[in-house]
Chain A
Amino acid sequence: MATLYDYALSGNCYKVRLLAALLEVPLDVQAVDFYPGRAHLAPAFLALNPAGTLPVLETGESVLTQSSAILGWLAATQDPTGRWLPTDEPETLARVLGWLAFADRLTATVGEARLHDMLRKPLDIDAARAGAKQVLRQLETALAERQIAGQSFLAAPHPTIADIACFPYAALAPDGGIALDPYPAIRDWIFAIRSLPGFITMPGIHALHEVLDQP
């Protein structure tokens, strides 16, 4: 079983946990005290990942860092359907890769605003929010056009790792004082992802209560 070095409040770590849950792949989850302990910058962790970033996935053969890279590895090795990372459809694959890059812009804006508002990280909050508005508007436009074309997900008629990479920080925007009211297409897409079989939550993204679970 692969080992995930994880922080429960990290949207990037959640991406890995979420895809693993959707693929029904068990992970050995090791908590890293990112806050308040700053253990990701301690020698023991830096020996594992010199960049000091989370998440890290130990596969048994290699040590993977960067959430998008780990999503790619999970999809490539653990998804027999090939739908989550459609390598045999060049155009879809290109769209997926484009969204993986876009996801880092969400982290750098919406994610930073969240760290500021929630965990008191010192930064220029106005700049983070202004950046967040631009990035969220781009996501909204793309999703609105997908809706007009009758599609619910970013890159294909079904969810791909593009959706998983972009979902957490978009959905967590309110944690950073950024309301999602202006983004109705994002709202519908968040609901579509929360409705996927096997979906798991993280703090700030609530469980779907619409359908009462049968005891």
Chain B
Amino acid sequence: MTDWIPVSTATGLRRGGVMRSFVCGQELAIWHSAGGAVHAWDNRCPHRGMRLSHGFVRGEQLACLYHGWHYGADGACTAIPAHPDLVPPASICVPTSPCIEAGGFVWVGGDPAHPPAEIPRLGLRSLHVEVPLATLRAHLGGTPDADGLVPFGIAAAALQAWDDRTTVLHLATPPKTSTTDRIALSRAAEALRREVEEWQTA
């Protein structure tokens, strides 16, 4: 069993990109540095509470959109543009969570000493499905592996509880899967979503 929660496929968040996510009810900004490191931070700039998921990545730093405060990989503030000569005090810091890329997915919140299995996979896509995680898991069937992944055709499915009502279905395929097969899997996932959401409504 693992404590790692999937938040994206490895290709779902481009380098230099930032997105919002939820893990165990906590709102996070997930970002991917220019050099390829992934980070999961509290989604709130300490200055004025602005969501950092609206911010922008510059190299190995994430900056807040509101006033451009920059934060380095450890979450510590590195620059305050309103005061170019000021060295920001170490107390200005965004709380961070463990975040890694492994097995075709991006994961948050587990023990870095025990990462998910490094199996080569290619991210397919992530779908928000408006049913609780348990409902989607039951519909998918299959036996979860040590990282909680279940098979979806030839793809691996990773489930993330976005909130009590919505689950994110992250899918990744074996690396050599053809484009035709990958599009077929994407459409199968859409069909599954329609089916389980209709079932939920009925």
Interface mask (B1-19 → A, CB under 8 Å = 1, otherwise 0): 0000000100011101101
CB contact between B17 and one of A148, A187, A211 (< 8 Å): that residue: A187
**Is A210 touching B57 in the complex (CB atoms < 8 A)?**
yes
Known: A184-B19, A209-B63. A148 touches B183 (CB 8 A): yes
B111 within 8 Å of A by Cβ?
A: no
B137 within 8 Å of A by Cβ?
A: no
**Is B13 touching A184 in the complex (CB atoms < 8 A)?**
yes
- Number of A-B pairs whose CB atoms are under 8 Å? 51
CB contact between A210 and one of B8, B56, B179 (< 8 Å): that residue: B56
B124 within 8 Å of A by Cβ?
A: yes
B65 surroundings in chain A (CB, below 8 A): 206, 209
Interface size of A in residues (CB-CB distance below 8 Å): 21
Interface mask (B93-127 → A, CB under 8 Å = 1, otherwise 0): 00000000000000000000000000000001111
**Is A210 touching B19 in the complex (CB atoms < 8 A)?**
no
CA distance A211 to B127 in the complex (A): 30
B20 surroundings in chain A (CB, below 8 A): 179, 181
CB contact between B186 and one of A144, A191, A208, A211 (< 8 Å): that residue: A144
**Is A181 touching B14 in the complex (CB atoms < 8 A)?**
no
A48 within 8 Å of B by Cβ?
A: no
Instruction: Across the interface, name the chain A residue whose C-beta is closest to B63.
Output: A209
B128 within 8 Å of A by Cβ?
A: yes
Instruction: Across the interface, name the chain B residue whose C-beta is closest to A181.
Output: B20
A185 within 8 Å of B by Cβ?
A: yes
CA distance A181 to B57 in the complex (A): 18
Considering only residues 131-186 of chain A, those with a C-beta below 8 Å from chain B are 141, 144-145, 147-150, 179, 181-182, 184-185
**Is B56 touching A209 in the complex (CB atoms < 8 A)?**
yes
B182 within 8 Å of A by Cβ?
A: yes
A187 surroundings in chain B (CB, below 8 A): 17, 19
Instruction: Across the interface, name the chain A residue whose C-beta is closest to B128.
Output: A182
Instruction: Across the interface, name the chain B residue whose C-beta is closest to A143.
Output: B125
B125 surroundings in chain A (CB, below 8 A): 144, 147-148, 184-185
A104 within 8 Å of B by Cβ?
A: no
**Is A184 touching B63 in the complex (CB atoms < 8 A)?**
no
Q: List 18 A-B contacts (CB under 8 A).
A: A145-B183, A148-B125, A148-B182, A149-B179, A149-B183, A181-B20, A181-B128, A182-B128, A184-B13, A184-B125, A188-B17, A191-B17, A206-B65, A208-B56, A209-B56, A210-B58, A211-B58, A212-B58
14 more A-B residue pairs beyond the given contacts A148-B125, A181-B19, with a C-beta to C-beta distance below 8 A? A141-B190, A144-B125, A148-B182, A148-B183, A149-B183, A181-B128, A184-B12, A185-B125, A187-B17, A206-B54, A209-B65, A209-B68, A210-B56, A212-B58
Shortest Cβ-Cβ A-B pairs, 3 listed: A182-B128, A209-B56, A144-B125
